[in-house]
């Protein structure tokens, strides 16, 4: 007899109309990659048992940091010992070892080593990379300041070159120039790549990266001239020491400026290489697409997994008077809450995979501006959607969703910073909008548009042919139409403002809201088109069918959400929108039999979800009770607070306020 599985969940799995394993292979890159993923997951789970890490929900922040550091050091030693055959194995192992958790050494892998590999001269690579990869140098990337974030040119930390000593003098001249937020900076690392305004021969040469040792290699004490520490508790991220860093005439050697793209000669002459770092868009694209995939799509996928499984385990109220309590997922209202989010998850995931594939090809250089605009907008679109969706999944789980044991709080606080780091989302939409505005100007000059904006010069039909079947071509055309109309409206407003005498910067600011709306529509069109293209590559007919339902639901819901844009231009009639609303409801019933299989296909372990409500076996209530009994407050039958405070109140003992 196998392990217990809730009968309702087992019935859902047995009744699915497709094999979720086929979809797992599509989502995770094929048979061999899924084998590697599962093998590394199993290794990490076995190692976690050996490490005996306590439940983070019952730990203080300091205890969480220490426990995560224990895991991090264990992982780094395995990495040093050659336990992983390649980066893919290391990646999957890390994911399982640190589920929705930012380890204290995360920036070593995410920013410090990649920056050394991409921004240093050959001599500097030889000097630093070995120690970084052997974890003698523990580093982070210090760019953001307490008063400046996305606006890099506004950074105030200075690096003034002194030709007499051939050193740079680092200073934090103002309160707002203190470095603030870099992960791992507060207590973990001993080095930082610091972005600072380079001053030499009386001139500013812009912001450049510098290698800075911040702590003693022997004692880990901060070096003289360096004030450093943790910025305090945050919304989440309790396992990582986001820090502050202040310099007071702190000197570093001239050779510590990262010199791949620029350098300062001994006499102070600034030299800029012909090959500029700004041309290397591929890394930036990959980072933002990575956020769309690993933070937004995965975060929303985990939330949907929990909510949909729990909605099949939970039975409540009556549909038929006097009948048995139905599964919550049988209520159409619950389906309406969750299935559009499930459709969005698949749209985000497939679009992220496609963008990631493109960013790793030569097209990333050929189409640099186009891919930069797409990745910026995609990061904004998906993280905004994921943040709202994760919270909607929590609400759909009722009271139990509010418990830390649900997994939602940890998933949410891990995903929500994605809306602000690596570019605040409104700013990123405006970057996409600038590309759209340039594309309009290019088209008006008679030049040909290529890439994602080529539709702006197409002759689109004035009326939609969309019908109840929600044909893929008609759906894509609808989103293309909306994007084109909103781009045209934003461009027209800006043109009118400039014609009225407004300077370019003021006209841009006064038309920024329409431009952001246009950017969002442009990205949504790209997501819909890419989702459809990805489905067309799937070979299994049953999988194609269920993905087709999700595509149609995604299309219907987003057209209905922005119905006014289709009505105002006469592209759609109110009857067509009503037809789409009816189709959307019918699609809920089509998706219902496959809902659990669709979330099982994401292939998350219980450890990764960190949720009692979303357990694979569906044994929710027994484990909720066990978890509650493990609360530290239950270690004694009578709490310490009773003896200190309550007893006197209850027994009428006099006390002074």
Q: How far, in Å, CA of 67 to CA of 54, rounded?
A: 8
Query: Is 183 labelled a binding residue?
Result: yes
CA quadruple 384, 386, 389, 394: dihedral positive or negative?
negative
Tell me which residue of 604, 628, 598 sits closest to 616, measured CA to CA: 604
Query: Of 422, 524, 557, 582, which is the active-site residue?
Result: 422
Written as one string, the DSSP assignment of 591-620 is HGGGHHHHHHTT---HHHHT-STT-TT--H
Instruction: Kindly tell me the burial class for residue 474, based on how many C-beta atoms sit within 10 Å of its own C-beta (0-12, 13-18, 19 or more).
Output: middle
C-alpha of 58 from chain center: 26
Instruction: Kindly tell me the burial class for residue 448, based on how many C-beta atoms sit within 10 Å of its own C-beta (0-12, 13-18, 19 or more).
Output: exposed
* 376 DSSP β-pair partners: none
Q: Which helix (H) or strand (E) holds 263?
A: strand 262-264
Name the E strands within 389-472: none
How would you label 149-164 residue by residue, b for 16+ Cβ within 10 Å and e otherwise?
Answer: beeeeebbbbbbbeee
Known catalytic membership, residue 422: yes
**For 532, which DSSP code?**
H
Tell me which residue of 640, 621, 613, 629 sits closest to 55, measured CA to CA: 629
Radius of gyration for the alpha carbons in the chain, expressed in angstroms and rounded:
27
Q: How far, in Å, CA of 350 to CA of 297, rounded?
A: 9
Is the distance from CB of 590 to CB of 550 less than 8 angstroms? no
Is the distance from CB of 376 to CB of 363 less than 8 angstroms? no
Which residues contact residue 378 at a Cβ distance below 8 angstroms, ignoring those fewer than 6 apart?
Answer: 288, 289, 292, 351, 352, 355, 523, 526, 527
Is the distance from CB of 651 to CB of 643 less than 8 angstroms? no
Tell me which residue of 408, 421, 425, 449 sits closest to 609, measured CA to CA: 408
Q: Strand 243-247 and strand 179-180: pairing?
A: antiparallel
Q: How far, in Å, CA of 185 to CA of 246, rounded?
A: 12
Cα–Cα distances (Å) from 613 to 127, 145, 271, 609, in that order, read 50, 40, 59, 10
Written as one string, the DSSP assignment of 40-91 is HHHHHHHHHHHHTPPPGGGS-HHHHHHHHHHHHHHHHHHHHTT--SSHHHHH
Q: Which residues are annotated as a binding site?
A: 144, 183
Catalytic residue numbers, as ranges: 422
């Amino acid at each position: 007899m196998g392990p217990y599985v809730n009968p309702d969940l087992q019935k859902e799995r047995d009744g699915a109309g497709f094999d979720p394993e086929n979809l797992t292979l599509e989502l995770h890159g094929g048979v061999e990659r899924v084998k590697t993923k599962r093998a590394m997951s199993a290794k990490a789970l076995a190692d976690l048992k050996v490490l005996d890490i306590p439940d983070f929900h019952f730990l203080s922040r300091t205890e969480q940091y220490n426990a995560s550091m224990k895991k991090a050091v264990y992982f780094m030693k395995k990495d040093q010992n050659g336990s992983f055959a390649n980066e893919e194995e290391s990646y999957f192992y890390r994911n399982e070892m640190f589920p929705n958790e930012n380890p204290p050494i995360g920036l070593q892998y995410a920013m410090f080593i990649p920056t050394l590999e991409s921004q240093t001269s050959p001599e500097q690579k030889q000097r630093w990379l070995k120690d970084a990869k052997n974890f003698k140098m523990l580093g982070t990337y210090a760019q953001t300041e307490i008063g400046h974030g996305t606006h890099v040119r506004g950074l105030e930390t200075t690096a003034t070159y002194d030709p007499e000593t051939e050193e740079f003098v680092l200073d934090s001249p103002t309160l707002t120039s203190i470095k603030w937020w870099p992960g791992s900076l507060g207590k973990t690392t001993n080095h930082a790549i610091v972005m600072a305004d380079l001053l030499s021969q009386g001139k500013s040469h812009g912001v450049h990266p510098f290698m800075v040792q911040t702590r003693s290699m022997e004692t880990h004490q901060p070096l003289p001239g360096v004030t450093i520490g943790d910025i305090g508790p945050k919304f989440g991220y309790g396992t990582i020491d986001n820090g502050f860093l202040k310099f007071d005439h702190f000197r570093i050697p001239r050779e510590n400026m990262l010199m791949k793209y620029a350098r300062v000669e001994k006499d102070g002459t600034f030299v800029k290489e012909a090959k500029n770092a700004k041309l290397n868009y591929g890394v930036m694209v990959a980072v933002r697409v990575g956020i769309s995939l690993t933070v937004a799509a995965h975060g929303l996928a985990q939330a949907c997994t929990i909510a949909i499984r729990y909605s099949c385990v939970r039975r409540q109220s009556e549909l038929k008077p006097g009948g048995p309590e139905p599964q919550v997922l049988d209520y159409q209202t619950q389906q309406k809450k969750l299935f559009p989010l499930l459709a969005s998850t698949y749209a985000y995931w497939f679009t992220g995979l496609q963008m990631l594939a493109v960013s790793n090809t030569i097209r990333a250089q050929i189409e640099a501006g186009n891919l930069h605009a797409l990745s910026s907008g995609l990061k904004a679109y998906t993280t905004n959607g994921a943040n709202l969706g994760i919270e909607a999944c929590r609400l759909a789980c009722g009271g139990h969703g509010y418990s830390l044991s649900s997994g939602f709080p940890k998933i949410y606080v891990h995903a929500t910073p994605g809306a602000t780091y690596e570019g605040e989302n409104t700013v990123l939409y405006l970057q996409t909008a600038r590309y759209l505005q340039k594309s309009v100007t290019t088209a008006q000059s008679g030049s040909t548009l290529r890439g994602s904006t080529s539709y702006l010069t197409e002759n689109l039909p004035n009326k939609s042919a969309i019908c109840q079947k929600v044909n893929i071509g008609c759906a894509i055309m609808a989103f293309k139409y909306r994007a084109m109309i909103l781009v045209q409206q934003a461009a027209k407003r800006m043109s009118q403002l400039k014609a009225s005498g407004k300077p370019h910067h003021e006209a841009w600011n006064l038309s920024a809201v329409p431009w952001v709306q246009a950017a969002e529509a442009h990205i949504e069109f790209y997501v819909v088109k890419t989702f459809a293209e990805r489905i067309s590559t799937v070979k299994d007919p049953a999988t194609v069918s269920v993905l087709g339902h999700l595509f149609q639901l995604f299309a219907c819901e987003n057209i209905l959400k922005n119905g006014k844009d289709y009505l105002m231009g006469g592209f759609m009639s109110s009857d067509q929108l009503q037809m789409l609303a009816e189709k959307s409801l019918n699609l809920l019933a089509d998706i219902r039999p496959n809902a659990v299989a669709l979330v099982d296909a994401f292939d998350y372990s219980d450890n990764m979800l960190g949720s009692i409500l979303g357990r694979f076996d569906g044994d929710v209530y027994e484990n909720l009770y066990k978890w509650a009994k493990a609360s530290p407050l239950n270690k004694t039958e009578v709490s310490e607070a009773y003896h200190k405070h309550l007893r006197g109140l209850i027994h009428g003992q006099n006390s002074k306020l």
